[in-house]
Structure 1
Amino acid sequence: MKQTTLRHRALRRLRSLPAETASRLLGMPAISRQLNKVYDKARAAHRPHLPGLSPLDMSIVAGLETRGVHITSLAELNLPGTDALWSSATDVADAYSLRAKEGEFAGDYTVQVDAGDMMRHPQIVRWSLDDRILDIVETYLGLPAAYDTLNFFYTVADGRQVAARRWHRDLEDRRMVKVIVYLHDVDEGGGPLEILHRSFPGSETLDGANFPVLTQEMLEERLGGRLQRSDVTTCTGKAGTVIFADVASRYHRGRPALTRDRCALFYNFFSRSPLRPFFCERHVFSREQLAELAAGQTDRARACMLWHANVPLLARMVPSARS
């Protein structure tokens, strides 16, 4: 088993080398400055075309701008299709909870709901294609949104600081929005999302192909002291809590769950010309499944889902680092 795991890690590392090399090139000062000019020009050109928002939806964008996060609920959003989403998602969550109790996930810290289960419940995938969600995301990004579908995670309460439970920033784009829906009550021991509001040496600089990925102890060492409550937004909430968070410009983590397992939906958005498309598509769906899910949707929704078709040829030549 150990040899199999090591072999898998080695192969994954080998597959990711082209993407990591491309990321380093994009981070070079001369290239980065030129790309940022193009990006800023595109946002300025799109500004007159941004959608109008209700006061509630503007407050979500304001929260993203000022704190990188806004916490609301399914009830407050009151989007079409929410009842169908909740019924399907909680059925899947209950099934995975039962499998966890039977010991099926022993040794795993996080389990992702597979594509087969998701394709049987397309309403879960399509819920966030509502125009209100897309308007909020587009207004914050300043550009038309791409929808990189979702990750449906079952998180085991084992307290380990691994993977996304360490402090990190996502790399796909300059700005991103995750729309997170808690399917269980999440208190401080249940693995809440946490957003950091302080910078530290190296927080804005790539360390090779990535921003530094830090344990709690490593972060506090860089900060020169313990984190205070005001330094972090800890996103606790009842089942049905919805969190909008920018996971690209802000350091964040899933706090290691200690007292109870957690199930949540993570809907992923960035611009249709993401900075690092080779780090995108970290979901469970094939391109064929995405086309099936996009069928019958509005033109806007299809363009959001099938964004990868318009990625520039040069970027498409870099093999995906998708694990």
Structure 2
Amino acid sequence: MKQKTLRYRALRRVRSLPAETASRLLAMPAISRKLNESYEKARASHRPRLPQLSPFDKDIVAGLERNGVYVTSLDRLDLPGTGALWRSATGIASAYSLRAGQGEFAGEYTVQVGAEEMMHHPHIVRWPLDDRILDIVETYLGLPAACDTLNFFHTLADGRQVAARRWHRDVEDRRMVKVIVYLHDVDEDGGPLEILHRAFPGSDQLDGGNFPVLTQEMLEQRLGGALEPGDVTSCTGKAGTVIFADVASRYHRGRPAIARDRSALFYNFFSRSPLRPFYRERHVFSRAQLAELAAGQSARARDCLLWHANVPLLARIVPRARS
């Protein structure tokens, strides 16, 4: 089993080398400066076309600007389709909890609900394509939003600091918004999302194709001591909690769960011309399935979900990195 895991990791690393190389090239000062100039011009050009928000939705954007995170609830958002989403998603979460209790996922740390199962519940995938969510995300990004669809994760409470349970930054774009829905109560021991509010040496510099990925101990070593109150927002909450978080500009992690498993929905947004599109599509759906999910939706929702069709040719040449 260990040998198989090592082979898998080595193969994944080889397959990700083109994306990592491209990422390093984009970070070269001369190239980065030109790209940033174009990005800021695009945001300035789009500013007059940004949507008008309600006072509550403005607060969400302000929270993202100020702290990189805003915590609310399904009840407060009151979006169409929430009831259907909740019934289906909690039903799937309960089934995965039962399977985990029977030992089916022994040795795993996180299990993702597969595409075939999710295609039976398209309303879960389509839920954040409502104009209000797209308006909030577009206003924060400053550009039209792309939805890199959904990850439905069941995370096991084994306390291990692995993968997204380590401190990291997502690299697809300069700004991103992850909309997370907790499907049951999440306390400090249940694996809450945590957002870091302190910088440290190297926190803005790529290490290869990514930013440094750190355990809690490694982070504290870089910070020169333990985290202080106020350094981290720990997003605990009741079932139905909804979190808007910028996972690109802020270090974050899923705190390792130790008391109980956690099931949650993770909807991923960035601009339609992301900085590193070769880190896209880290989900379970095929292009054909995405086209099926987009069918019958508004033009804006279709463009948001099928954003990859308009990625420049040069960006499409780089093979997609393996997650």
Question: How far, CA to CA, are the matches of 2:178 and 2:229 in structure 1?
Answer: 23
Q: Deviations over 1:162-221 (max 9, x none)?
A: 110000000000000000000010000000000000000001111121111111011111
Question: How far, CA to CA, are the matches of 2:270 and 2:129 in structure 1?
Answer: 13
**1:249 aligned partner, one-letter code:** S
Question: How far, CA to CA, are the matches of 2:150 and 2:210 in structure 1?
Answer: 22
Q: Measure how far apart 1:4 and its partner are.
A: 1.7
Check conservation: 1:152, 1:266, Cα contact below 8 A: yes
TM-score by length of 1: 0.99
RMSD: 0.6
Question: How far, CA to CA, are the matches of 2:195 and 2:186 in structure 1?
Answer: 15
List runs of 5+ in structure 2 lacking aligned partners.
Answer: none
Residue 2 of structure 1 aligns with which residue?
A: 2
Residue 18 of structure 1 aligns with which residue?
A: 18
List runs of 5+ in structure 1 lacking aligned partners.
Answer: none
Question: How far, CA to CA, are the matches of 2:242 and 2:282 in structure 1?
Answer: 21
Question: How far, CA to CA, are the matches of 1:288 and 1:31 in structure 2?
Answer: 34
Residue 115 of structure 1 aligns with which residue?
A: 115
Residue 99 of structure 2 aligns with which residue?
A: 99
Check conservation: 1:281, 1:322, Cα contact below 8 A: no
**2:274 aligned partner, one-letter code:** P
Residue 63 of structure 1 aligns with which residue?
A: 63
SS of the counterpart of 1:229?
Answer: coil
Percent identity for Structure 1 against Structure 2: 81
Residue 124 of structure 1 aligns with which residue?
A: 124
Residue 79 of structure 2 aligns with which residue?
A: 79
Residue 171 of structure 2 aligns with which residue?
A: 171
Check conservation: 1:278, 1:322, Cα contact below 8 A: no
Residue 199 of structure 1 aligns with which residue?
A: 199
Runs of 4+ residues deviating >6 angstroms: none
Q: How many residues align?
A: 323
Bigger mean CA deviation after superposition, 226-235 or 134-143: 226-235
SS of the counterpart of 2:230?
Answer: helix
Question: How far, CA to CA, are the matches of 1:202 and 1:150 in structure 2?
Answer: 30
Q: Deviations over 1:264-288 (max 9, x none)?
A: 0000000000000000100000000
**1:7 aligned partner, one-letter code:** R
Question: How far, CA to CA, are the matches of 1:204 and 1:279 in structure 2?
Answer: 18
TM-score by length of 2: 0.99
Residue 217 of structure 2 aligns with which residue?
A: 217
SS of the counterpart of 1:230?
Answer: coil
Q: Deviations over 1:2-47 (max 9, x none)?
A: 2221221111111100000000000111100000000000000000
Question: How far, CA to CA, are the matches of 1:42 and 1:49 in structure 2?
Answer: 12
Question: How far, CA to CA, are the matches of 1:320 and 1:256 in structure 2?
Answer: 28
